[in-house]
Structures are given as C-alpha cells and as structure tokens.
Amino acid sequence: MRPAAADQWRSVAEHHSKTEESVIFPGHAVVGAYLRAFRRDRKLRLTDAARTIGASAARVCRMELGTSESKPDAVHALLKSYGLYCPRCLKTINELLAPPAARDRFVDTQPGCHTRLRACEQDANRLRYFSSYLIPPAFRTHSYTTALRASDALSAHLPWSTHHSAELATEVVGPDTPTRRYGTHLWLPTTGLTTREATLILDASVLRRTVVPPGVLAEQLRALRDAAHRGRLTLRVLPLTAGASGYPGALTEITRRSTRLYVQPAARCFHYSASGSTATSAEWCFTNSENEALSAEGSLAAIEEAAIQLAQLAERDAAASWFS
C-alpha cells in the first residue's frame, strides 16, 4: 500500500476508535480484514473503495474494522471491484455477515477460510499461538511446508484423520496456489508475518514430532530461534512435565484493534469465538500455558537442544542411506 493510503486508513481508524463505542461484530471483523487485504493487495486507497459503493472513506474504514454491520451487497461490490468472481466465496461471505456470525461464535469454511485467517493475522496488533501438533502456518519455513504436503504421517498426528491425504494436507497446510475450481482469489503468503507482538507456545512434543524429516524440522526450529533473537517472536515451550496445561490441538488468539478472536482449526473450516464459554476456555489455555511454560531463555535452550539432536539424527540417516 502507498504510504499516503496507509496513513489515511490509520488516521480514520484512530478517529473512530476514539469517537465511537467499541461495538464489534466478529464475523464482520473477519470479512473486514479480508476486504482490507484485498484493497492493499490492489494498492487502492479508502477513497477508491468508497467510490465503488457510493459511500464515505469512513464508512469503508468501519467495514474493514468490523465496527459496523456490513451489508452483503456492499461487500460483494467491493470484492468484485478487487477482482473476486468466485460464487462460492461470496456465499461463504454471506454466511459470515449473517447471525450468529455477527455475534459471538461462527464457523468460516472453504473456499477462502485460510486466506481470511491470514488476513486477520497480517492485520493484527497482537497474536498468540498454541500448538501441540505442528508448527503454525504463519511461522513455517518453505521446506517444512513442502515436507508436510508430502508427509505420509500427517494424519497420525492430527485430531481429525478421516480425509484423503491430499485434502488433509490442504486443510492443515493451506492452499498452495490459486485453482480454477475456486475462481479468482487472493492468496496471502503463509510466511512473512509482520505483526509486532507475536507469541508462539509449543508443546515440547512438537519439537520432536516425526511428521517431517529430522533435518527439515531442525531447520524449522532454528528459523524460529533466529526470529526470536531478532525480537520478532516470543517463544515459549510447554514441557511434558506440565501435563494437561495446554490445549489438545492448535489455537490462535488474534487481537485486532478492539476485537479479540480465538480460532480453532477443524476439517475444512475454522471455528471462531469472541466471547462465551469457548472464548473463556481458550483464554484459560493461553494464561495457563504461559504460566507453566519454560522461560523465554529456557525455551530457546530447549529448541536449540532439539535442533542439534535432530540435525545429528539427519546426519546418521544420511550416512546409513549412503552405505546401504
């Protein structure tokens, strides 16, 4: 996005955060992040988008923030002006804009659910991740992602394992490239997270999970270590001795302006919650996990130790393969 366009959005967003009540419609907030990702990808200003629907720039900003209810016709007009012509995507958008998505809990489905989640992550002020299975997509190296797609052991480490391996890889890893089946679409990268405040809590079992080759996992862990050293990421490792302190699977907390959403992956969809018992349980998971996790220094030491051991295992495997 051009600097002037970014400044325009920021100034309008700050104005509304100060002058309006913090009324958030969670489903609309997800759609809003999606709209903003499209607009930024097309290098358009708020005023450019506003002309498309005959509204003010402030109105478009509120739609992107999720602080006002977005009308399906206006959202469709914006998405089509950005180049989205996928009827199934537009149908899914309608479901996100309708109750109960406008309130506290909703489900986002394919096509487009991975990209909408990425849009929320890219536009977040704060992110917290917990995983007891795999490295979350936002932090994966290219080698790790590629190895996951080819992994025969993927289904053995997931809470759902009834799908075809190719479908399972798409659900867990995310779509690879645009397909004609879903039409014109926006595909955000699964790496390069720009959020300033990000915390990743990993169950210790993830450091040695044999879903990918040991050399690939060693490279992945060192990439996480380097990101932590650069100050872009806070790493915490939940030791096995902590017992059931974490969450059985993967969980993401997205704080975007005054919106806080908890996201759980499932087969072909993501479950979102903003309040209620599900959100309370998710918040407890993060609080308890951080309390039970190793310190930041201890976590980095555990990751380095695991990376060294995995690299040694990869060397032994390579040597055994060479002599066999």
Phi then psi for residue 266, to 5 deg, are -145, 180
Per the model's pLDDT, the better-predicted residue between 286 and 14 turns out to be 286
d(CA 17, CA 12): 9
Unique residue bearing structure tokens 């002309």: 51
pLDDT at 167: 43
pLDDT at 214: 94
Residue 311 has pLDDT above 90, yes or no: yes
User: By the 8 A CB rule, do 37 and 119 touch?
Assistant: yes
- The model's pLDDT over 86-145, given as tens digits with 9 standing for 90+, comes to 888 888 899 888 876 556 788 998 888 888 999 999 889 899 999 998 999 889 998 998
Using a pLDDT cut of 90, give the percent of the chain over it: 40
- Give the predicted TM-score (pTM) of the model: 0.81
User: By the 8 A CB rule, do 270 and 264 touch?
Assistant: yes
Going through 161-268 in order, the beta strands assigned E by DSSP cover: 197-203, 234-238, 250-256, 259-266
d(CA 220, CA 132): 16
Phi then psi for residue 311, to 5 deg, are -65, -40
pLDDT at 46: 94
pLDDT at 291: 92
User: By the 8 A CB rule, do 148 and 173 touch?
Assistant: yes
Residue 78 has pLDDT above 90, yes or no: yes
pLDDT at 194: 56
Band the pLDDT of 69: cuts 50, 70, 90: confident
User: By the 8 A CB rule, do 97 and 27 touch?
Assistant: yes
Band the pLDDT of 190: cuts 50, 70, 90: very low
Residue 195 has pLDDT above 60, yes or no: no
pLDDT at 158: 55
Strands 259-266 and 269-273, sheet pairing: antiparallel
